[in-house]
Each structure stands twice: as C-alpha cells, then as structure tokens.
Structure 1
C-alpha cells in the first residue's frame, strides 16, 4: 500500500429534496477519515509483523516480540493455527492477507497507546549501553512507567520487573529532587501502577508523596477519589480529614468532590466530634511493667487515667484545635506526655502513682495515635 498522508477528507454534497431554486444553499457533509501513519523509529522495512496502535503503524520482527515469553506467544500461536486451517479450506472466494502482514491488515492492539508500544520496543530492541544511557535522561521515568504498564498487560515478566526496579530506584531516593515532574508520570498514574503491579515499595513511595501534598492542603479531593478507587484506606482517611478541616465552604465549592463524598464528610465531622468527647475518659490500654503488680498495678491504672485526662486538657490550653481534629489532639497529647516523662516540663505529681510504667504510657499513647490514623476512613461513611 502506498504511504498516504496522515488524514484525508471526503466531501459529499447533498441537495434538498423537493422544489428548490438554484440559489438554495447546498448542504455539505464533511467526513474526516484518519489514515494511519508509520512510526518513524519502529517501522522496519525488513519487519514481518505490522501492529496498529491508536493511529500509528509499527512494523517489527516477530522474533523480537517473542524472545521473552509473553501474551504475544499465544497470540501468534493462535494466528498460526488459523492460517493452517484457512489453507486447507477452499470455500472462500475472497482472498484476505493474513493479519499483521501488511499495513492494510495490521494486528490491532486495543486499549494501548503508541507511547507504551514505543517504550516496549525500545526495551526489546535497544542494546545494553543504550538502555543505560537512556536511564540518565529527564523523561526516563515516563518511559519506564509506560514500559511497566505495557509489559504488565502482555506479561513480559522479566522486562516488567526490570522497569519496576528502575522506577523504585528513582522514586525511593530521598525527596526525589532529581525528578522532573513535568516529564514524568503524574502521582495518580504512579500510584495506580504500583497498585496494579502490587509493588508495595513503590506504593509506599507514592503514598509518602501524597501525605506531603495532603499535609499542605494540595490536591486533597484528587487524593480522596484516587484512594477510594484503589482502596488505600489509611491514605483515604487522612485525605478526608484534611478536607474536613479545611471547612464546609471549601469542600462544598470543590468540583472534584461528589455528592456522596460530601455526605461522608458530614458523617465524619459528626463521628469524630463524638470521639473527641469520649477520648479524655477512655485512656488506651496500658501494658504494665513486670514490677508493677497487685495493689501497685491498681494505683498505676488510676494514675494513668488521671494523667491521660490531664494531658488531653493541657493540649487544649497549649494549642486549641478544631473540634473534629482528633488526630491532631492525640499527637499533641503524645508530645506533652513525652515532655512530662522526660522531665522537660514540671510533672506536678502526675507520674508519682506509676513509677515503673511511664515509658509504657508513652507506648500506649503512640499506639492510640496509630490506631486512629489507620481507622480514620471508617469514620467517613455514607450515613450522617
């Protein structure tokens, strides 16, 4: 087939039926039919397999696509069986070329992007030194992202593992200062990839970045939608709480929030407010020191209940926080308790009744903070 321009236009002219004068405007219908174009890098003249992705033709070597076991093995095996079956049949009066052997009848890959296929072919065709050189370019994180997605879909397990390892190397470095955010995948894309490929380390690296954004009040609604979609419960709770603390006017005006999510915010405000009221009278369970037994343990429990209430009250005086900011209040209480235990502030006799269990009280408080943080999402339900 001759190489045609990227797009041709067919124009048909229709006249209105009935009595019309020569001056009646013509009704013109213009149809735009895109013609696939050949990829400038991966259309090899000696290739034997033509792929169509989006509106781009790739002509490559079948041996390159099958040198690593993948879904293409099954695809080509099925194609070979169909060819054998077709060659033994003489009933068809129309001769159709085998799929993938010409631009007219390419193998159509649905749901992929041309950039993803380019990344796959780059990995399959590049020499080792070319791969290493590419790892130093600004846009490498996006190429690796595309490569990881496409190799996961078509089960190129070894290449997928290589791409994910390189991505982890990039994103798990402190602060990721060398990453060009414009050239690389978005944080949503990176998180979705880590979840899709079940890459815990990469997902944790993405989560740390989300937490920084949420703490600064940025992209909170985006984080809520993404965390709900991927069932990232701890991150979802933090995002909901951050949006809640910004106030009703802010989240009522945010176009990314759905009606259901706004209902969950109202529900969370009520539930966390109730929890805030209960907390001073519900000290965390204290694990006693082995030396704390019998009557000493009874006195220790009483002292711990008083210390817990006092610590929560001190927090209100030191830094008044919003009614529903339970996590903030618990973290402040933890800081005050630590200062008391380490004698950085006067104890006023609050620790006298628990001489052996002060450090255990700190551990119990830290455990309570973690418990509430991890269960925050449970307070944001569909019922107000």
Structure 2
C-alpha cells in the first residue's frame, strides 16, 4: 500500500523591512509617515501648507487624542517614530513627488516649467496634490504638464498618454484635456492606438475625441474591427451604425452645399447661390471613389466625409487665390467676386461642423 502524501504549504514570503527615503527622511523632521514600503520623516508644517487635507487630519487628531496616561506618561502617537508611523495608502513615487514640490529650490522648480520637465513626476504630483487638496500645487503641476505637452512634438507613449488623459479628466483641467486630445488625434491620423483612444474617450466621456476615434477605426474596415481584441460588441455596433450614417450623408453631400452668406454688394444672390451649388457639386461628384477637379484628384473612401469636405475646402481656396484655373459655371450663374471670401468661409465652416459632429453619427442602434 502506497503511503499517502500531502502537499506542504509554501513558506510565506519574508516581509521586507520598510526603508527610509534617501532624500525625504529629514533628521529634524517631526512627522513620520509610511507609504508602501518607504518611511518618510518630514516637517508637519510643510504638510499643512495650502490648507491641505493634512491640515484637517492633524487638527482632528490633536482634538480627539489625549497624549498622557493616568500615570502622566506620554502616550505614543502615530507619526512619532519609524515603529509607529502614519500609514498612507498611496504610492511612494507619488508621495515623493509631493515632497519634491514642497522642499525643492526655485531653480529646481523652474526646470519643470520647460521642455526638460519630468512629466512622469508631474503626473504623480498632480494626482496626489488633487487627492490631498494642495490646490495651488495641483494647479501649478497641471499648468506645467499642459506647457510640456502643448510644445512637445515627439511621438507620445500610449500608456503615458492614457495616464495624462485620465489625470486631466480627474482634475477637470480643460487646457490639459485640449493638449492631450491633440496628441491623440496625431496618433489617430497615423492609424495608431485607435482602439485605446475609443476606450479612453468612452470611459472619460471625451466627446471631442470619441468621434475621431470611431471615425478612424471605421475607415480601417470591418475586417479590422472584427479582429481587434480591444473592441467590445457595443463598439462594433456603433461602428456599423456610423458606417451606414456616413455613407448616406456622403451620397447626399453633393446636393447640399453649405449656407452662403452673400456680400452686401451682391445684387444677384440667386444666381450667385446657384453657381456656388454647382461648384460644390462639381467638386464632390465622385466616380469609382475618385473625387476632384482641375487636376486636384485624390482617392477617397465612399464614407470618408472628412476628406471629402477638406478636399472641397482646399479647391475652393485655390480657386479664390487663382492658383488653379477657374471653373466655367456660366450655365448656372456666376459667383460674385466679393462673395468668394464668403464661399471660402462657408466651406471652412462645413469642415469645422463635420469635425465637431462626428460623434453624433456613431450610435448604439443600427
């Protein structure tokens, strides 16, 4: 008979002793805090700056704790020693960034306002400053991040961009939201990180990004939608809906020119409007996916509304500037010469309208 065997429990992993922070364990500090496995010793006066949440926390602590026992000996208080620290449920990197902002010299802070800034450190700082209500520190960090990301031209790291976008939404900082949306749109223009952009835009309700993200994925085609593991069922339904809606709009587009506001000197507005409508239709009439006039030919997908209206804008501007030959529209009328700037403005307004309304054409119902 075989002897029975039993599986012995694995020994528990040995707990690593907390380590003092190499910079922010300050010898004459009077408050000890443990964050993850790092011990900080700092000055309480620094933590209560800016009327932060620490101010309220320490005030409540002094009100509710009696520091002496019946024999007149002092009761140990949290934060008095390494053995009895105040424990914060934060990340050590984030708390270290907060200490950096409180203890750094002006010259060190100034570096963070330029292109040599450490954006990861600023992200940590803004997030923890928001949590503990260091209002001026939060505003400064968000402004520094906005400056950095508004001026940087390099290809952004997608995970880093996700973190910044989440931070901007958390803090409701519109300037930073605008800067990161521009970076997302650069990625989308390159066909990169499209599913990630859809996920971020939906989670954070960034409508100015959501429409562009869905539009970029739609142009990739259904084979890509069906094979992308990041996309969920409701997102594929939205893509189908958007494809249907935009195909219908593109088919009708040549027959619906933008509204034209005539110049005050235009006395034949009807003929001027008819000529503009004919020009618009001529530009947008497609055959086998090709669109364009006067040598301005490009291959455009049948559902690519954005490219169609941008083509119209570029041709109208070229006509207004005289850089391409004029189009004979005499059988329809004539665009008044002083109405041409208004024609350009009308097409530009149409491009803007299309960009702003992309999200509306992607709904959950086909």
Using the size of structure 2 for normalisation, the TM-score is 0.86
Superimposed CA distance per residue, residues 138-166 of structure 1 (whole angstroms, 9 cap, x where no aligned partner): 67221122111111221112222332333
Give the aligned partner of residue 374 of structure 1.
356
Distance 1:67 1:299 in 2: 70
Give the aligned partner of residue 170 of structure 2.
196
Give the aligned partner of residue 221 of structure 1.
195
Contact 2:48–2:55, Cα closer than 8 Å, also in 1? yes
Q: Does 1:336 align with 2:308?
A: no
Q: Do the aligned partners of residues 127 and 239 (structure 1) sit closer, same or farther apart at CA in structure 2, a change above 3 Å counting?
A: same
Give the aligned partner of residue 322 of structure 1.
301
| Alignment of structure 1 residues 116-265 onto 2, 5 Å | 116-132=94-110, 140-173=118-151, 175=153, 186-265=160-239
Superimposed CA distance per residue, residues 84-117 of structure 1 (whole angstroms, 9 cap, x where no aligned partner): 4x869x8xxxx9743333344432323x211000
Give the aligned partner of residue 349 of structure 1.
328
Contact 1:141–1:185, Cα closer than 8 Å, also in 2? no
Distance 1:25 1:188 in 2: 48
Contact 2:113–2:148, Cα closer than 8 Å, also in 1? no
> Number of paired residues?
352
* RMSD of Structure 2 on Structure 1 (CA): 2.9
Superimposed CA distance per residue, residues 224-256 of structure 1 (whole angstroms, 9 cap, x where no aligned partner): 111122222122111111111111111221112
Superimposed CA distance per residue, residues 163-221 of structure 1 (whole angstroms, 9 cap, x where no aligned partner): 233323322225259xxx67x98111122222333333322222222111110001111
**Equivalent of residue 9 in structure 2, options 20, 25, 28:** 28
How many Å apart are 1:75 and its aligned residue?
A: 0.7
Contact 1:142–1:185, Cα closer than 8 Å, also in 2? no
Aligned-partner SS, 2:153: helix
Aligned-partner SS, 1:42: strand
Aligned-partner SS, 2:363: coil
Q: Do the aligned partners of residues 129 and 300 (structure 1) sit closer, same or farther apart at CA in structure 2, a change above 3 Å counting?
A: closer
Structure 1: gaps (5+ residues): 1-19
Give the aligned partner of residue 22 of structure 2.
40
Contact 2:114–2:148, Cα closer than 8 Å, also in 1? no
How many Å apart are 1:284 and its aligned residue?
A: 1.1
Superimposed CA distance per residue, residues 313-345 of structure 1 (whole angstroms, 9 cap, x where no aligned partner): 276252231111011111111112222233333
Contact 2:115–2:152, Cα closer than 8 Å, also in 1? no
Q: Do the aligned partners of residues 174 and 40 (structure 1) sit closer, same or farther apart at CA in structure 2, a change above 3 Å counting?
A: closer
**Equivalent of residue 283 in structure 1, options 252, 257, 270:** 257
Using the size of structure 1 for normalisation, the TM-score is 0.82
